[in-house]
Structure 1
Amino acid sequence: MNSILTIKDPKPLTSNPTEAETTVRDVVLSERLGYSKPADIRKLIKRHASALEAMGSLRQSGVMIEAGKGAKRQVTEYSLSRAQAAFIISKARTPEATNLSIVIAELFAMHSESKLAPVDCAAAAELDAIAARAKARAEVHALGPEGWAIVRSFKRSSRKRRKIGALPRR
């Protein structure tokens, strides 16, 4: 996905050197998806926060911006993982997002037809972990609203957290 998002602009999306994985800043993703204001994509991120958190921590930080006639105010800026960025791309309703969603869908089709293979054991293990999390989320979804209530209460608990999307121990 990184190469797809850099077709128009040779600059990399962004990588925070203090974090272990590459992240995409919301303002950069907003620009690449054709939004005129970063606030538009932030509304989309807030609306889908629970789904994004199921893919990992939703990283956010306070950033000072200049608004109007020199007034400064703090806004929340998000840094999304690649999976979270792909999810937001699928929810955005811009021509650029539609184009990227088609590419993601084509890659998914290639994967499901076994035309893509992991390059090493670590990649194979990661694919297995993704499949396990998807299965756990499907089990929670099958429980209906009660299942989601269990997951929400588990996420708020002070106990040691397991991967989001996995059922809490009973």
Structure 2
Amino acid sequence: MAAIVTTTQDTGLPDLIEDGGEVRVLDTILAERLGYDRPRDIRKLVKRHREALGGMGSLLHRGANPGPKGGRRATAFYLTEVQTLFILAKSETARANVELAYVTQVFTEFRRGNLVARDADTQARLDAYQADRQARLARHLEEKEAREDALRFLNRGCRR
């Protein structure tokens, strides 16, 4: 893994890195671009969605220096493009809403067939993503149904 942009952060970490042929962005850089008043707060969001992010690829993290004012060492995350888009959707800042609207419009055009895969390999990846999406949705629905069944069962027991 090699740093591709020099650090501008007081964490001692580079803003962007290359990992396995993919560019990753430091969480606090994303937070600044999204208008967070306290960029480190984005880490709470990343941690809350750790499982989902891990399903999109490894969730790369590094120890971050506490900064010039001292404090505790922190865990900084480097997000892939897909993970970044997920956090974008979850961050609920005004800037994120603008960016999310743009991404949604592009994907809508793709879904309508106005954008097409450039080759068979790309189409195969898109098909694999769709299959993974369908599997995740099916698991989600199964889990939801199991929770609802459990609640119905518990509620019947309380009425007796």
State the TM-score, normalizing by the size of structure 2: 0.75
**Aligned-residue offset at 1:16:** 1.8
- Gapped runs of 5+ residues in structure 1? 1-13, 148-170
**Aligned-residue offset at 1:25:** 1.3
In the alignment, the residues of structure 2 paired with residue 137 and residue 17 of structure 1 have an alpha-carbon distance, to the nearest angstrom, of 28
Residues 38-53 of structure 1 mapped to structure 2, 5 A cutoff: 38-53=39-54
**Aligned-residue offset at 1:122:** 2.1
Match of 2:65, SS state, is strand
In the alignment, the residues of structure 1 paired with residue 115 and residue 97 of structure 2 have an alpha-carbon distance, to the nearest angstrom, of 23
Distance 1:93 1:17, change over 3 A: closer
Correspondence 1:16 to 2:12 = no
Corresponding residue pairs, total: 133
> Residue in 2 aligned with 1:89?
88
Distance 1:18 1:57, change over 3 A: closer
Q: Report which of the two structures shows the higher radius of gyration computed on alpha carbons.
A: 2
Match of 2:92, SS state, is coil
**Aligned-residue offset at 1:130:** 0.5
Match of 1:22, SS state, is strand
In the alignment, the residues of structure 2 paired with residue 139 and residue 116 of structure 1 have an alpha-carbon distance, to the nearest angstrom, of 27
* 2:82 maps to amino acid: A
| TM-align CA RMSD | 2.0
In the alignment, the residues of structure 2 paired with residue 17 and residue 108 of structure 1 have an alpha-carbon distance, to the nearest angstrom, of 26
**Aligned-residue offset at 1:20:** 1.9
> Residue in 1 aligned with 2:108?
109
* 1:89 maps to amino acid: L
In the alignment, the residues of structure 2 paired with residue 18 and residue 127 of structure 1 have an alpha-carbon distance, to the nearest angstrom, of 22
**Which structure carries more helix by proportion?**
2
Whether the 8 Å contact between 2:60 and 2:77 is mirrored in structure 1 is: yes
* 1:35 maps to amino acid: Y
> Residue in 2 aligned with 1:161?
none
Match of 1:124, SS state, is helix
Match of 1:73, SS state, is coil
> Residue in 1 aligned with 2:38?
37
Deviation string 1:127-169 (CA, Å, 9 cap, x unpaired) is 111111101112211221698xxxxxxxxxxxxxxxxxxxxxx
Give percent identity, aligned residues only: 35
Distance 1:123 1:15, change over 3 A: farther
Q: Which runs of 4+ in 1 moved over 6 A?
A: none
- Gapped runs of 5+ residues in structure 2? 1-14, 147-160
> Residue in 2 aligned with 1:132?
131
Whether the 8 Å contact between 1:67 and 1:73 is mirrored in structure 2 is: no
Whether the 8 Å contact between 1:61 and 1:78 is mirrored in structure 2 is: yes
